[in-house]
Amino acid sequence: MIGILLKKQTAEVWRGYFYDAKENKARSRFSTAMRFVLFALLMIGLLGGIFTALALFLCQPFADAGMGWMYFVVMGMVAILLGAFGSIFNGYAGLYLAKDNDLLFSMPVPLNSILAARLLNVYLLGLMYAAIVCAPALIVYWVTVPCGVSVVCAGLLWTFLVSAIVLVLSCALGWVVARISLKLKDKGLVAAIAAILLLAAYWVFCSQIYAAINDLAINAALYGAQVQESAAVLYNFGRAAEGDWFSLLIMTAVVGAVFAVVWLVLSRTFLHTATASGAQDKATYREKTIRQKSPAHALLKKELQRFTSSVNYMLNCGLGTVLLPLFGVLLLWKGEEYVELFGEIFAGMPGTASILLCAVACMLVVMNDAASPSVSLEGRNLWLVRSLPVSTWQILQSKLHLQIVLTAPPLFFCSLCAILVLRVSLVESLLVLLVPQLFMLLLAHLGLTLGLLWPNLKWTDETAPVKRSMAVILTIIAGWVCGFAFAVIWLWQGWHIGAVLYLVIAAVLAILACLGIRLWLMSGGCKRFEAL
C-alpha cells in the first residue's frame, strides 16, 4: 500500500514533465527530455558546480592537516542547511495541506501508510537537495585522498544519513508550524513569517560563510581539537564519512532514535492536525452598510485573497515584496560605499552605478511572478470566475494588477533609496525610477502570457503550478536574462552613449514589448482563456 501511495505522489510531482493537461495527452519524448535537461542544468550544473568549487577549496587544506572529518562536518552542515531550506515547507504543505487528504482519509487505507508515503516523499526531496552537496564533497575527497571500497561505501551511507537528518528537521519544524497555525485564524501568515525569518537567517549565513570558511581553513587544528573535546556528535558525524564504521553506527543510532520520536509524535497527531480547521471566531451578526464596488476592485480583491491564503503562493511568487525594501535599506546603509567602489572600478564609464543598481532592482523584481501561475491556480474552479458577469479581459487584468500591486510600491521605495545614494541629475533620477517599473510591467504581461500558453488546471498539490510549472520557470529565466543583459550590454558598449540615453532606449524597448504582449492578451489571450 505504501508503494502505491508513494508512486501516486511521485507521479503528481513529475506529472507536468510527462503530461500536457491542456492537450489532455502525453508530451512528446523530446519535450519531456528537454524539461529534464533544463532541470538537470539548474540543479546539477549550477548548484552542483558551486558546491564542487567549495569542496575543491576546502578538501586539500583539511586533508593535508589530517582532518578530513572536519571537512565532512562543514560540507555536511551545508548539505543539511540546503536540504532543510529546500524541503522544510514541503514538509508542512506535503504532510498536512495536500488536496487529496479528504479523499484518502475516507478510503480504507491505514493512516500510518498515508503518513509513511508522505514522509517518503519529503525524504526524497530532501535527499535530492542534500545530494547536490554531498556528491561533489565525496567525489572531491575520494580523488584527493586515496580511498578503498570500505571508505566509498561509508561515504554513500553517510549521504543517506545526512538526508535522514534533513527529513527529521523538515518534519519537526513542519509540525511546529502546523501546530502554531491551528491557534491562528490565518494559517498562511505564520508560515510566511517563519519562511521570511528562515530566509533572513540563510542570507546572514551566506554573507558570513566566506570569512568563516577562510578562518576555519587557517585555524583547522585549533577548531578541530575544540570540536573533539566538546562536540563528540559532530566529530563522529565527520568520521563516519571518512570510513569509520563505528562512528557511522553511532550516528545511525542517534538519528534513528530521534526519528522514532518524530514518527511517534506525527502518528499520534497527524489526523487531528491535517483535518483541523484552525482557530475561528464565533460568527456574530453586525449590521453594516456595504458599498458597491467596481468589477475591477472586486476581482483584484479576489486575487489578493487567493494570494494571502496560500503559503506556497506567497513564498514562491511574492518574495520580491520583502527583498526590494530590504535592498533599499541596505543601499541607505552601505550604498555610498558601493557607489564609490563602482566609480573607482569603472572610472571611464560614468553612470555605471545607476545602470547596475537598476539591473539589481530588475533582478529582484523577478522574485515577484504572481501573474504566471494565477491562471493555473484557478484549477477545477475556473468555471466560477468564468460565470461572473465580467469580461474575460477584466479577469486577466485583475491577475496583472495583482503583480503590480505587490511589486510597484516596494520597487518605488527601492528605486528612491538608490536615487538618494546616487545623487545624479533630475532626468537620470526619473529614469532610475521609471525603468524598473516598466520592467515590472513587462514581466507581469510576459508571465500572464506564459501562464495562458502553459496552463495546468488539473493539479492536486498547488506547488505544481507555483514551483514546477513551465510558465513560472520560463518567466524567471527570461527576467534574469533580461536583467543580466541590461548590465552586460552597458559594460560592453552601452556606456559610450551615456547613462541617460541608455536608460531612455531601455524604457522605449520595454514599452514597445509590453504594448505588443498586451495587444495579444486582449485578443488571442482572451480567446485562449475562454477555451480552457
**Cα(117)–Cα(507) distance, integer angstroms:** 51
DSSP string, 5-18: HHHHHHHHHSHHHH
Lowest mean pLDDT among 42-51, 371-380, 407-416: 42-51
Do 154 and 202 lie in a common domain?
yes
What's the confidence (pLDDT) of residue 48? Answer: 78
CA-atom Rg of the chain in angstroms? 26
**pLDDT tens digits, 222-253:** 555 555 555 567 778 888 888 888 888 988 89
Number of domains forming the structure of the chain: 2
Do 303 and 226 lie in a common domain?
no
**Cα(272)–Cα(313) distance, integer angstroms:** 25
Write out the three cell numbers for 258: 530521534
The answer to the question of residue 261 being in a domain is yes
Do 484 and 341 lie in a common domain?
yes
The residue among 275, 305, 336 that closes a domain is 275
| Structural contact between residues 137 and 79, judged by C-beta atoms closer than 8 angstroms | yes
Report whether pLDDT(512) > 90.
yes
The answer to the question of residue 26 being in a domain is no
**pLDDT band for position 147 (cuts 50, 70, 90):** confident
Do 524 and 389 lie in a common domain?
yes
Strand, helix or coil at 177? helix
| Structural contact between residues 445 and 514, judged by C-beta atoms closer than 8 angstroms | yes
Do 164 and 199 lie in a common domain?
yes
**pLDDT tens digits, 172-224:** 777 776 666 666 555 555 556 655 665 566 555 555 554 555 555 555 555 55
User: Which residue's entry shows cell 483584484?
Assistant: 300
Do 393 and 491 lie in a common domain?
yes
Do 224 and 359 lie in a common domain?
no
The residue among 240, 275, 310 that closes a domain is 275
Do 314 and 255 lie in a common domain?
no
Do 157 and 211 lie in a common domain?
yes
The residue among 275, 305, 335 that closes a domain is 275
Q: Tell me, what DSSP letter sits at residue 388?
A: S
Write out the three cell numbers for 468: 514546477
**Cα(5)–Cα(116) distance, integer angstroms:** 9
What's the confidence (pLDDT) of residue 89? Answer: 56
The answer to the question of residue 108 being in a domain is yes
Do 492 and 358 lie in a common domain?
yes
Do 350 and 416 lie in a common domain?
yes
What's the confidence (pLDDT) of residue 86? Answer: 63
Report whether pLDDT(33) > 90.
no
**pLDDT band for position 264 (cuts 50, 70, 90):** confident
Instruction: Give the residue among 371, 258, 260 at the shortest CA–CA distance from 320.
Output: 371
Q: Provide the CB-side half-sphere exposure for 84 (13 A, CA).
A: 22
Report whether pLDDT(125) > 70.
yes
Instruction: Give the residue among 10, 25, 38 at the shortest CA–CA distance from 473.
Output: 38
Cα pseudo-dihedral 310, 127, 161, 131, rounded to 10: -130
The answer to the question of residue 36 being in a domain is no
Do 157 and 71 lie in a common domain?
yes
Report whether pLDDT(412) > 70.
yes
The answer to the question of residue 43 being in a domain is no
The answer to the question of residue 140 being in a domain is yes
Q: Tell me, what DSSP letter sits at residue 461?
A: S
The answer to the question of residue 194 being in a domain is yes
Domain membership of residue 430 as a residue range: 295-530
The answer to the question of residue 227 being in a domain is yes
Cβ partners under 8 Å of residue 463, min gap 6: 90, 93, 312, 316
Report whether pLDDT(501) > 90.
yes
